[in-house]
Homo-oligomer: A and B are copies of this chain.
Amino acid sequence: MVESRLVGPVRIVGVGLLGSSIGLGLSARGIEVVLADASPTHLRIAIDYGAGRAAGPHDAPQLIVVCVPPDVTADVVARELEAYPDAIVTDVASVKLAPLQELRARGADISRYIGSHPMAGKERGGPLAGRADLFLGRPWVVAAHDGISYQRANAVDDLILDLGATLVEMTPEEHDRGVALVSHVPQVISTLLARRLTDAPGSALNLAGQGLRDMTRIAASDPELWVQILGANSDPVREILLAYRDDLDRFIESLTDPTAPGAERKVAEEIAGGNAGVARLPGKHGHDRRFASMVVMVDDTPGQIAKLLHEIGELGVNLEDLRLEHSPGAELGLVEISVLPEAVARLTEELAARGWRIAG
């Protein structure tokens, strides 16, 4: 059993993907979890799955995590604050300003409420989609506000750290603008692109490759959920979409006469602007840009890669990431090695001296 920060019991209201994942993660750490859900079927599945036990009349939760759809979040949070006057309450809804405003408006005791939002999800929902490690290494925003003391908010920090997530503190406004850009606008754009496929000839769709598939994957998302999210965050989303439309207009204009003087330069600048934008995204784990990579060509025999890695180890260089590419027709395999940038020059030299072929 891993040591945990939270004492528990923790009460989870709503056992969909997020609620059941939190329950599984905390249970795995030996923290007592009690579960509640409007659907008795979901509740039973989550309990069977190991996410916690059913809530009872005498539970005294230290922390309550509300994991229900955005449009009922404030409602359920208010009810929980009243029902458990000693508990700290948080929620995991993907908008943070609207629930706080609604709780304020109805005079709820927000000295015990602080909203949060784990940046983790899956295409599938429901308790059985839950995973104890869903939050591992993922950002989890705590939407700070002045109405709750630092000490009380601590329970939410403990929850996040116990689940292996990375705590990110933001104001509700910063959070909502941020997710508008990185999540809500991409959803709208994916949806609108997918709509263009509706009346396309099948012969064209048969040509689709990974690019289109990647870009329309999230277009398969649940309309009911997204009506709530976009409705609750419409201003930041609309603002970004307006700027995006200006860019689109300019792009369409540059295609109107692609051989006009300057038209090619304009298109190239647009594509280069996209290059620059995507380069700003942090690496897969937020840190991959720290590393430089090099490619070593190896003979297509089993022992070669082990030998290479062994020699890299002998040279005292730490391998940060590794990819193997092997083309069935080729006489060589390619090993792409990521190391700290300062190690590249020496490693290239030493490996070349030992007879390895460095491809770049």
A: residues with CB less than 8 A from B are 21, 24-25, 27-28, 45, 48-50, 119-121, 128, 130-133, 136-139, 141, 168, 170, 174, 177-179, 181-183, 185-198, 200-224, 226-227, 230-231, 234, 237-238, 240-245, 247-249, 251-252, 255-256, 258-259, 263-264, 267-282, 284-287, 295, 297, 302-303, 305-307, 309-310, 312-313, 318-332, 334, 359-360
Q: Given A49-B331, A198-B280, A281-B208, is A267 in contact with B231 using a C-beta cutoff of 8 Å? A: yes
Assess whether A271 is in contact with B227, with CB atoms less than 8 Å apart.
yes
Q: Given A207-B141, A268-B227, A306-B306, is A197 in contact with B128 using a C-beta cutoff of 8 Å? A: no
Question: What's the least CB distance linking A204 to chain B, in Å?
Answer: 3
Bound together, the chains give a CA A25 to CA B329 distance in angstroms of: 6
For A201, give its contact among B178, B187, B277 (CB under 8 Å): B178
Q: Given A309-B305, A309-B306, is A132 in contact with B191 using a C-beta cutoff of 8 Å? A: no
Assess whether A182 is in contact with B203, with CB atoms less than 8 Å apart.
no
Assess whether B244 is in contact with A193, with CB atoms less than 8 Å apart.
yes
Give 9 nearest A-B pairs by CB, closest first.
A132-B329, A191-B274, A28-B329, A178-B204, A194-B277, A306-B309, A219-B274, A223-B271, A197-B277
Assess whether B286 is in contact with A206, with CB atoms less than 8 Å apart.
yes
Q: Which residues of B contact A45 (CB under 8 A)?
A: 359
Oligomeric state, in copies:
2
Q: Given A278-B194, A302-B318, is A132 in contact with B273 using a C-beta cutoff of 8 Å? A: no
Supplied contacts A189-B189, A212-B281, A321-B325, 11 more A-B pairs, CB within 8 Å: A24-B330, A182-B207, A183-B209, A190-B215, A191-B274, A196-B240, A214-B215, A220-B278, A222-B271, A241-B255, A284-B325
Q: Given A274-B219, A281-B208, A281-B212, is A24 in contact with B259 using a C-beta cutoff of 8 Å? A: no
Chain A interface secondary structure, helix, strand, loop or mixed? helix
Q: Which residues of B contact A244 (CB under 8 A)?
A: 192-193, 196, 248
Q: Which residues of B contact A201 (CB under 8 A)?
A: 174, 178
Q: Which residues of B contact A322 (CB under 8 A)?
A: 305, 322-324
Bound together, the chains give a CA A238 to CA B240 distance in angstroms of: 22
Question: What's the least CB distance linking A193 to chain B, in Å?
Answer: 6
Assess whether A323 is in contact with B323, with CB atoms less than 8 Å apart.
yes
Question: What's the least CB distance linking A107 to chain B, in Å?
Answer: 22
Assess whether A204 is in contact with B221, with CB atoms less than 8 Å apart.
no
Q: Which residues of B contact A227 (CB under 8 A)?
A: 264, 267-268, 271
For A278, give its contact among B197, B270, B281, B318 (CB under 8 Å): B197
CB closest residue in chain B, given A225:
B271
Assess whether A272 is in contact with B223, with CB atoms less than 8 Å apart.
yes
Q: Given A128-B359, A212-B186, is A204 in contact with B230 using a C-beta cutoff of 8 Å? A: no
Assess whether A226 is in contact with B271, with CB atoms less than 8 Å apart.
yes
Bound together, the chains give a CA A271 to CA B263 distance in angstroms of: 34
Bound together, the chains give a CA A157 to CA B202 distance in angstroms of: 22
Assess whether A174 is in contact with B203, with CB atoms less than 8 Å apart.
yes
Assess whether B313 is in contact with A282, with CB atoms less than 8 Å apart.
no
Assess whether A328 is in contact with B209, with CB atoms less than 8 Å apart.
no
Interface centre among A25, A27, A306 (most CB of B within 10 A): A306
Q: Which residues of B contact A202 (CB under 8 A)?
A: 280
Assess whether A273 is in contact with B182, with CB atoms less than 8 Å apart.
no
Assess whether B287 is in contact with A209, with CB atoms less than 8 Å apart.
no
Question: What's the least CB distance linking A326 to chain B, in Å?
Answer: 6
